[in-house]
Chain A
């Protein structure tokens, strides 16, 4: 579903964030991206939805060369990818259901369709009772659920999550991981950058470890740290 071919990323300031990455992520996979801060995890996710352009190499998503995409195609690429962030990125003045509806509104979906789909998405994340509340009235875990509902409302084939539990306590993190696993079991491919070593160790998914912009380990059912 996604292939990186010899991808390098050098930022304007000369920092090499990624160095010759070759990676193939298959449909339906759940992949953890691990590694120390500054290893290049966020940069790798940004290349998938064209937040950044690779300096060298190709990124292919669903058979399309993301780096060669015309500007006008980028919005349509992003509609196929759900995104979840550490800081949730909700709009504080909009209610919970409006935040979720926003993802449909900006893609020109009709009111009636919005009214039908938003409650479904809120139900999936278990927030149907809190639709009318403001994000500030919710706990961190609940806010991230709103973020997940918004990311999933367009039924994307890929969910990219950059440290989604980075701001949450361990118990809440586990609840959210269960939600992510459900989403994955329904067929959505997930790429998750994380520092939550206990979760990575326990779930036994594919683990790609980065260090200084290079892949140092790519292991099916691996743990957070290299066992060898």
Chain B
């Protein structure tokens, strides 16, 4: 393709954008908003997944023993639990250890626990970790049947609830994004239809002068892609700066929330947003080119 031809394409595409400036702005805005929603819901899901994973790995089973269980039985119980499929770690916590741990977690107000040493109400216990969070209920149920075990507890529901929330964020984000992307495609195709209409005389002259179909179509395709690209760049910038300032803020005030800040994720996502913007633009103009540009 000749340089002068490429110059021609860009001149035509941009003069159309200026001519339809309001519609062009609306198209760009819709692309921006739809990709913004996509970007932020992706980040939300990414972070929630990460959080779920962190929580999952910290879900433990506590198996409390009857009082007066003998040391020999404790040793054999530990062997039995270790032998269960999925169990990765078994730790024995005596009632004395449990009290010490409790004191530590109470910090300055540990005086509440004074006087418990003599008559410690806490039971001896095993703390058990599994490979995956999903194995927790099964393992817990087995342990419950072992003799000497009084009660079995674990963080029932926390992980499930978090995963349900990420599922809904994913579904809702996708639905809103798809609806807005469809609106963006529609607006872009309307913009292109207006461009085609504004230039129908020129198009008919081009045709009898022997312009190829692609020569006639290309500026319109370019126009749609420029609209999509502009929208996705705006969305990308907003997501990038918005998220990083949020992450910084969260890091200062709520440091225990582990936000994802790895550049590799963000760059892949921004690349994806821009590709999607181009696709939306190309789709919008392709629809109008097919319908209104019978070359």
Interface residues of A (CB under 8 A from B): 49, 51, 71-72, 75-79, 83, 89, 91, 102-103, 105-111, 114, 150, 154
Contact-size category for B:
10 to 19
Minimum CB–CB distance for B289 against chain A, Å:
15
The CA-CA distance from A148 to B207 in the complex, in Å, is 17
B4 contacts the other chain (CB 8 A):
yes
Instruction: Report Cα–Cα, A78/B213, bound state, in Å.
Output: 13
Q: Are B209 and A78 in contact (CB under 8 A)?
A: yes
B residues at A contact (CB < 8 Å): 1-2, 4-5, 8, 201-202, 204-213, 215
Interface contact A110-B2, CB-CB below 8 Å = yes
Interface residue from B4, B201, B202, B211 paired with A111 (Cβ < 8 Å)? B4
Whether B5 lies near A78 (C-beta < 8 A) is no
A90 to chain B, nearest CB (A): 8
A51 lies within 8 A of B208 (CB) = yes
**Could you tell me if B213 and A71 are in contact, using CB atoms closer than 8 angstroms?**
yes
Given A75-B210, A78-B210, A108-B5: 6 more A-B contacts, CB < 8 Å: A75-B212, A83-B208, A89-B204, A105-B4, A106-B206, A114-B4
State the CA gap A103–B205 with chains docked (Å).
9
| Assembled-state Cα–Cα distance A71/B213 (Å) | 9
The residue on A at minimum CB distance from B1 is A108
Residues of chain B within 8 A (CB-CB) of A108 are: 1-2, 4-5, 215
Closest to B199 in A: A91
* Given A91-B202, A102-B205, residue A107 in contact with residue B4 (CB < 8 A): no
Q: Which residue of B has the minimal Cβ distance to A102?
A: B209
Contact B205 A107 (CB under 8 A): no
Query: Which of chain A's residues have a CB closer than 8 A to the CB of B205?
Result: 89, 91, 102
Name which residue of chain B comes closest to A154, CB basis: B210
Residue among B4, B204, B206, B209 with the most chain A CB within 10 A? Answer: B209
Contact of B211 among A72, A77, A106, A150 (CB under 8 A): A106
Query: Do B209 and A110 touch across chains, with their CB atoms under 8 A apart?
Result: no
Cβ of B236 to closest chain A Cβ, rounded Å: 35
